[in-house]
Structure 1
Amino acid sequence: MHNFKLTILGILIALTTGCASITGSDMQQLSLTAKGDDAKSVEGVKCTLQNDKGTWEAITPSFINVRRSSEDLTVECKKDGEKDGLLKAISRAAGSMWGNIVFGGGIGAIIDHNKGTGYNYPDALPVQMGSSVIVDRKAQETTTAAK
């Protein structure tokens, strides 16, 4: 009977610890902005965001919901009178993925990987018109931790 209780306790811990597929959304809200060569904000830029889970369109400045994925997010922005802006947002594994591997035996991590819920993009997508930019959540977390 004692082993049965330990087994049940282990299952409960595995199901409730760090599983993004249960607690997280497969969507992430991102802030999309654009700046010109003079570093001033450019409004009304039409942007297309894409990863292996879908394609979304938005006009700057805005907040947009995209589907999370293990694949990077590409952003292509265009406006008459401006050079095109390109941005690549690096996808990073969320902390919940490591919790799934450690406590859940990896099953939750496989589910989160396939659904994309175990990954995050940087919260801000600052497109620089006329340039190609890479943004990484790892740098965002370092900056946030330093504050």
Structure 2
Amino acid sequence: MKKRFVITIAALAANLGGCATVLNGTKTDYTVGSRPDSAAVKFSNGSSCTTPCKLEFRRKDDLRADMTLAGYKPTYVLIQSKLNGSAFGNILLGGGVGAIVDGSNGASNRLYPSPLIVRLAPEGSPDGAVLLDKKGNVVTTVKAHNDAVRSDVSKTVGPKLAGLEGNDPQ
């Protein structure tokens, strides 16, 4: 009986290996907004759009989003690829193989912040840009967010894009 149980668990682990890959995929839809609308956004991976917009990004990639709009201070937001809860599901279900697969292709990650909604600061204002949640409530300043994720994101986008080198406008 014990041998049968072990075989069943092993079969389940093998079949669930890469569970997040199957459920989530390696890419995700990413929504970007600004207050006011119509900001030009350029991403470090070469993508660009005008807010509001939706793009598709790989889950495993950290990014930098540069936002500009006439009459407002230019700003950038560091987008961090963070481990999602699905990785823990792999571990709990005995899916060591799945955890490795999902970890290597980024399927167990999510991009943060998501959605990316920035209230831009008017030129000449002492205020800086802030991140908003889906309901339009202020989450944090863009500067505080960038400072919190900068060292981690710099490992993949590089120290210059992460604002560790040169003249950081924030």
TM-score computed with the length of structure 2 as normaliser: 0.60
Counterpart code for 1:47: V
CA 1:65–1:104 in 2, change beyond 3 Å: closer, same or farther?
same
Q: Aligned residue for 1:67? A: 58
| Number of equivalences | 125
Q: 2:47 aligns with which of 56, 61, 68?
A: 56
Q: Percent identity?
A: 26
Counterpart code for 2:16: T
8 A Cα contact 1:19 1:100, kept in partner: yes
8 A Cα contact 1:86 1:127, kept in partner: no
For structure 2, the residue ranges without an aligned partner over 5 or more in a row are 122-128, 130-140, 149-170
For structure 1, the residue ranges without an aligned partner over 5 or more in a row are 36-40, 137-147
Deviations 1:94-143 (A, max 9, x none): 1111122232353212211211111012331012335371289xxxxxxx
Alignment partners' CA distance in 2, 1:55 and 1:112:
25
Counterpart code for 2:10: I
- The answer to whether residue 11 in structure 2 is matched with residue 12 in structure 1 is yes
What is the RMSD computed on CA atoms of the aligned residues?
A: 2.8
Runs (4+) of structure 1 moved beyond 6 Å? none
* Structure that is richer in strand per residue: 1
TM-score computed with the length of structure 1 as normaliser: 0.68
Tell me the secondary structure at the aligned position of residue 93 of structure 2.
helix
